[in-house]
């Protein structure tokens, strides 16, 4: 059954109103008509079975037949704080992080970030990343859409961490504290922040700033991973360890 995301505000009084590009997909591509059934998700974990009542050029209105909690969202809320990379690498990171189960993504403006966002660029990039996250969530059949926040500086990103959040920052100059060790002695977690540097990595001053806010530098081993690889690798490891990707911590 076709699946579509809407915002919670688009579900009112037993009706779902679908707008935007999905209307063209429903009417022109899938050629669905009144009486056909859709699966609609509100991005917050609720799923609705709905029957099309009206299919127009600007909107598709459906009657809700049933609703339930979709389930399937990771219990662990991981925020990926990704140093802004060059070119379209952020597109890949958003897409794959969504598939893995990230809860939130924060593009981080770092000292060594090559990308300079000025004028309308931040808004255009943000809309693009949010669209990619939405499509990736639909494709991988997860019940929610991760939040993609506007690009932020260090102070803003660190100030937004909830209390008692576990946070790690992989750093090539750390050679004692491993991610495996941190995961083995910590938890259970509710929220965890993962800070990933851009091309060129973090500066020592940035790492010290993060450390002063309780973020733990860790090593990922002897090989230096690209920025578009490191975050996804850490996400997969953490989610596996907490049982979401088939693994489970001992005990």
CATH number at residue 19: 2.40.240.20
CATH number at residue 102: 3.40.1280.10
Compute CA distances 133 → 1, 57, 91, 205, whole Å.
21, 25, 9, 32
Q: Which residues have C-beta within 8 Å of that of residue 174, sequence separation ≥ 6? A: 217, 218, 219
Q: How far is residue 20's CA from residue 135's CA, in Å, rounded to a whole number?
A: 13
Q: How far is residue 206's CA from residue 172's CA, in Å, rounded to a whole number?
A: 13
Number of domains in the chain: 2
User: Is the pTM higher than 0.85?
Assistant: no
Q: Are residues 39 and 149 in the same domain?
A: no
The verdict on residue 248 lying in a domain is no
Last residue of a domain, one of 22, 45, 69: 69
Q: Are residues 235 and 214 in the same domain?
A: yes
The verdict on residue 247 lying in a domain is no
Give the angle subtended at the CA of 137 by the CAs of 133 and 143, to the nearest 5°: 130
Q: Are residues 89 and 19 in the same domain?
A: no
The verdict on residue 138 lying in a domain is yes
Q: Which residues pair with 16 in a beta bridge?
A: 11, 62
Show the domain range for 162: 77-241
Q: Are residues 174 and 211 in the same domain?
A: yes
Per-residue pLDDT in tens (0 to 9) along the chain, 251 residues: 778 888 889 999 999 999 988 999 999 999 999 999 999 998 777 889 999 999 998 999 999 999 888 776 677 899 999 999 988 899 999 999 999 999 999 999 999 888 776 666 778 889 999 999 999 988 888 888 999 999 999 999 999 998 888 899 999 999 888 888 887 765 566 789 999 999 989 999 999 999 999 999 999 988 889 999 999 999 999 888 876 666 554 54
Residue 214: φ, ψ to 5°: 90, 10
Q: How far is residue 164's CA from residue 190's CA, in Å, rounded to a whole number?
A: 9
Q: Are residues 166 and 51 in the same domain?
A: no
The verdict on residue 182 lying in a domain is yes
pLDDT score at 249:
47
């Amino acid at each position: 059954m076709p699946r579509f995301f809407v915002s919670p505000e688009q579900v009112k009084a037993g009706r779902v109103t679908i707008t935007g590009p999905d209307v063209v997909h429903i009417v022109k591509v899938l050629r669905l008509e009144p009486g056909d059934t859709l699966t609609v998700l509100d991005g917050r974990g609720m799923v609705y079975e709905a029957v099309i009542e009206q299919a127009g050029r600007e909107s598709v209105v459906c009657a809700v037949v049933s609703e339930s909690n979709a389930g399937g969202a990771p219990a662990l809320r991981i925020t990926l704080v990704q140093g802004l990379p060059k070119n379209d690498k952020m597109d890949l990171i958003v897409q794959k992080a969504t598939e893995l189960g990230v809860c939130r993504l924060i593009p981080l403006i770092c000292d060594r970030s090559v990308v300079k966002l000025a004028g309308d660029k931040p808004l255009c990039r943000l809309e693009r990343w949010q669209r990619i996250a939405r499509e990736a969530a639909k494709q991988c059949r997860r019940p929610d859409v991760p939040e993609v926040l506007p690009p932020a500086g260090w102070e803003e990103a660190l100030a937004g961490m909830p209390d008692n959040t576990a946070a790690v920052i992989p750093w090539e100059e750390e050679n004692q504290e491993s991610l495996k060790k941190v995961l083995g002695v910590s938890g259970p977690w509710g929220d965890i922040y993962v800070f990933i540097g851009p091309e060129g990595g973090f500066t020592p001053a940035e790492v010290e700033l993060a450390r002063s806010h309780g973020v733990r530098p860790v090593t990922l081993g002897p090989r230096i991973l690209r920025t578009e690889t490191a975050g996804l690798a850490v996400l997969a490891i953490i989610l596996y360890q907490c049982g979401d990707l088939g693994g489970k911590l001992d005990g």
